[in-house]
């Protein structure tokens, strides 16, 4: 079958790499893709915010499945429009993607279905939000309600910081995303990412993974989209997985059914593993990036039947096999990220670096120009490896990085430190 994959990040490169291995695949189209994906499929600069253009492209190319990588097209209702046109898609419809698109929506579900999460208030006026913050006292977490590209969460240590953050939100710092504000108590504990495939009724947990959100070694520096990841995450024990499925995932799936807007796709729960058990920090309506890269590296089964079963509502008939061996990915980013950075520097040595078996280099922000690989984004490369132990996977990934000649790039040198401590 022909498949269209939407997105251009490391997550989509990993998905494309895995989809391209499927015996079910005839042609993979990727919109827009990046410089690393040219050999896996046909790249197209289709404007994916023009839903009719996507429908026309799908029909013209006999595409039987559309896989949506990032959240923005989901929240914009691309899957709704595809399904109305009779086209099968992997990803939730707009009303279900609100689990990521509106933090207040998710918090209200938590309240109504008794799902463990941080205590919170939800406000659409400045005065009420400030009054609540003052009544609760610091520390507090202030969140813009909508999608704010990962920047809409302020961890306020003092009441003054909280009030400033609230004022920033309402004065438009996060655009429309900040028109409503969620204020939460601060939770403590290690964080974990937890992924399930769900077809609206059945849920199939994926292998566990953990990312590294801070820019620099030792979990220092500003928050980023993720500087590296590993799988499995020893911290997510079988008992914790079971507890998370029962207390967080199952009631969420039930809630979305009850609302008449079942959630289909990959559901990504950001968890805080508190002393009182796992609590939900947030949902995402997509795979984590870079968690997806390590999950795809460890997935032994064909991905395409899993995507189809999710879209078709037949996940109860599917099981997934995983390589027992751990995987790890190190993100190489342009110096300056997550702040400002220069675009267009050249990266050399990728052929040598990716030569060893069990090393895959997934591109995120790259473009190919006259045969040269240029850095075009903040997060640029994902050096991904799988080995018998996490120690070996880590050593292998850093050996590969040494072969990459890119003075304008940087990376963390301690990816998987927590897993190494625990093994
Ligand atoms: P979010 O975008 O909601 O995932 O928040 C981004 C990051 O902020 C999370 O990964 C946590 O590190 C942190 N965070 C969000 N909410 C809380 C909370 N209630 N308590 C502690 N940390 C939080
Ligand atoms: N790695 C975190 C995210 O994808 O949101």
Closest-CA residue to 89 (of 111, 73, 110):
73
Q: What is the pLDDT of residue 335?
A: 98
Omega cis (within 30) before 338: yes
242 domain residue, yes or no:
yes
Omega cis (within 30) before 139: yes
**CATH code assigned at 346:** 3.90.600.10
Centroid of ligand 1 to alpha carbon of 281 (angstroms): 6
* Residues 227 and 267 reside in one and the same domain: yes
120 domain residue, yes or no:
no
140 domain residue, yes or no:
yes
Mutate to test the pocket of ligand 2, among 211, 294, 364 (most ligand atoms within 8 A of CB): 211
Closest approach atom of ligand 2 to CA 288: 4
Q: What is the pLDDT of residue 223?
A: 87
Structurally, how many domains does the chain consist of? 4
pLDDT band for position 149 (cuts 50, 70, 90) = low
Q: What is the pLDDT of residue 178?
A: 63
Q: Is 141 in the pocket of ligand 1 (CB under 6 A)?
A: yes
387 domain residue, yes or no:
yes
* Residues 84 and 143 reside in one and the same domain: no
* Residues 293 and 361 reside in one and the same domain: no
* Residues 269 and 349 reside in one and the same domain: no
**CATH code assigned at 156:** 3.30.1490.20
Q: Is 64 in the pocket of ligand 1 (CB under 6 A)?
A: no
pLDDT, tens digit (0-9, with 9 covering 90-100), for 51-67? 999 999 999 999 999 99
What is the average pLDDT value for the chain, to the nearest integer?
95
* Residues 401 and 364 reside in one and the same domain: yes
Centroid of ligand 1 to alpha carbon of 142 (angstroms): 9
Centroid of ligand 2 to alpha carbon of 285 (angstroms): 11
6 domain residue, yes or no:
yes
Closest approach atom of ligand 2 to CA 290: 1
pLDDT, tens digit (0-9, with 9 covering 90-100), for 3-31? 999 999 999 999 999 999 999 999 999 99
298 pLDDT higher than 70: yes
Mutate to test the pocket of ligand 1, among 102, 136, 149, 153 (most ligand atoms within 8 A of CB): 153
* Residues 313 and 351 reside in one and the same domain: no
Q: What is the pLDDT of residue 271?
A: 96
* Residues 262 and 201 reside in one and the same domain: yes
Average pLDDT over residues 79-105: 95
33 pLDDT higher than 90: yes
423 pLDDT higher than 80: no
**CATH code assigned at 62:** 3.40.50.20
How crowded is residue 398: how many other Cβ atoms within 10 Å of its Cβ? 16
C-alpha neighbours within 13 Å on the C-beta side of residue 394: 16
**What's the pTM value of the predicted model, to 2 decimals?**
0.94
pLDDT, tens digit (0-9, with 9 covering 90-100), for 163-187? 999 999 888 777 776 678 999 999 9
Q: Is 226 in the pocket of ligand 2 (CB under 6 A)?
A: yes
372 pLDDT higher than 90: yes
C-alpha neighbours within 13 Å on the C-beta side of residue 236: 26
* Residues 283 and 398 reside in one and the same domain: no
Q: Is 281 in the pocket of ligand 1 (CB under 6 A)?
A: yes
Residue 355 in contact with residue 240, Cβ under 8 Å?
no
Residue ranges making up the domain that contains 356 = 327-422
Closest-CA residue to 345 (of 326, 372, 381):
372
| Atom 3 of ligand 1, nearest CA residue | 282
Last-in-domain residue among 179, 211, 245 = 179
103 domain residue, yes or no:
no
* Nearest ligand (C-alpha, residue 294): 2
pLDDT, tens digit (0-9, with 9 covering 90-100), for 190-210? 889 999 999 999 999 999 999
Centroid of ligand 2 to alpha carbon of 365 (angstroms): 16
Last-in-domain residue among 284, 317, 350 = 317
Closest approach atom of ligand 1 to CA 143: 3
* Residues 268 and 385 reside in one and the same domain: no
Q: What is the pLDDT of residue 177?
A: 66
101 domain residue, yes or no:
no
Last-in-domain residue among 278, 294, 317 = 317
* Residues 152 and 223 reside in one and the same domain: no
Closest approach atom of ligand 1 to CA 152: 2
Mutate to test the pocket of ligand 2, among 231, 289, 415 (most ligand atoms within 8 A of CB): 289
| Atom 5 of ligand 2, nearest CA residue | 288
Q: Is 421 exposed, middle or buried (0-12, 13-18, 19+ CB in 10 A)?
A: exposed
Range in 84-93, 175-184, 342-351, 378-387 the model is least confident about? 175-184
Centroid of ligand 2 to alpha carbon of 284 (angstroms): 8
pLDDT, tens digit (0-9, with 9 covering 90-100), for 249-283? 999 999 999 999 999 999 999 999 999 999 999 99
Centroid of ligand 1 to alpha carbon of 256 (angstroms): 23
240 domain residue, yes or no:
yes
Q: Is 291 in the pocket of ligand 2 (CB under 6 A)?
A: yes
* Residues 277 and 395 reside in one and the same domain: no
* Residues 386 and 272 reside in one and the same domain: no
Centroid of ligand 1 to alpha carbon of 119 (angstroms): 13
Residue 231 in contact with residue 291, Cβ under 8 Å?
yes
Helix (H) or strand (E) holding 306: helix 303-312
Q: Is 200 in the pocket of ligand 2 (CB under 6 A)?
A: no
């Amino acid at each position: 079958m022909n498949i269209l994959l939407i997105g251009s990040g490391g997550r989509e490169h990993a998905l494309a790499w895995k989809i391209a291995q499927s015996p079910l695949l005839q042609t993979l189209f990727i919109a827009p893709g990046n410089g690393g994906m040219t050999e896996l499929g046909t790249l197209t600069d289709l404007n994916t915010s023009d839903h009719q253009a996507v429908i026309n492209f799908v029909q013209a190319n006999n595409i039987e499945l559309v896989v949506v990588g990032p959240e923005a097209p989901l929240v914009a209702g691309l899957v709704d429009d595809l399904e109305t046109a009779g086209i099968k898609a992997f990803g939730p419809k707009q009303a279900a993607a609100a689990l990521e698109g509106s933090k207040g929506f998710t918090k209200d579900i938590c309240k109504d279905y008794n799902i463990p999460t941080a205590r919170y208030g939800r406000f659409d006026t400045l005065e009420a939000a400030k009054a609540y913050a003052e009544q609760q006292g610091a520390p507090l977490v202030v969140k813009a309600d909508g999608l704010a590209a990962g920047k809409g969460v302020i961890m306020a240590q003092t009441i003054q910081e909280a009030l400033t953050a609230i004022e920033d939100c309402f004065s438009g710092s996060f655009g429309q995303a900040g028109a409503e504000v969620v204020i939460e108590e601060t939770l403590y504990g290690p964080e974990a990412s937890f992924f399930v495939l769900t077809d609206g009724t059945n849920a199939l947990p994926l292998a566990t993974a953990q990312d590294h959100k801070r820019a620099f070694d030792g979990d220092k520096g500003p928050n980023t989209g993720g500087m590296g990841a590993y799988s499995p995450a020893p911290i997510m024990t079988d008992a914790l997985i079971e507890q998370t499925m029962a207390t967080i995932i199952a009631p969420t799936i039930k809630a979305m059914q009850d609302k008449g807007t079942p959630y289909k796709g990959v559901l990504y729960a950001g968890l805080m593993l508190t002393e009182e058990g796992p609590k939900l920090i947030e949902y995402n309506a997509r795979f984590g990036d870079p968690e997806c890269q390590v999950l795809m590296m460890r997935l032994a089964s064909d991905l395409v039947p899993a995507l189809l079963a999710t879209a078709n509502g037949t996940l109860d008939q599917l099981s997934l096999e995983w390589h027992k061996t751990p995987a790890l990915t190190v993100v190489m980013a342009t110096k300056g990220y997550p702040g400002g950075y220069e675009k267009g520097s050249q990266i050399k040595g990728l052929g040598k670096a990716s030569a060893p078996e069990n090393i895959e280099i997934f591109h995120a922000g790259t473009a190919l120009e006259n045969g040269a690989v240029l850095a075009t984004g903040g997060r640029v490369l994902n050096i991904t490896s799988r080995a018998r132990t996490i120690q070996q996977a880590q050593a292998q990934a850093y050996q590969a990085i040494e072969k990459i000649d890119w003075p304008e790039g940087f990376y963390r040198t301690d990816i998987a430190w927590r897993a190494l401590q625990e093994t």
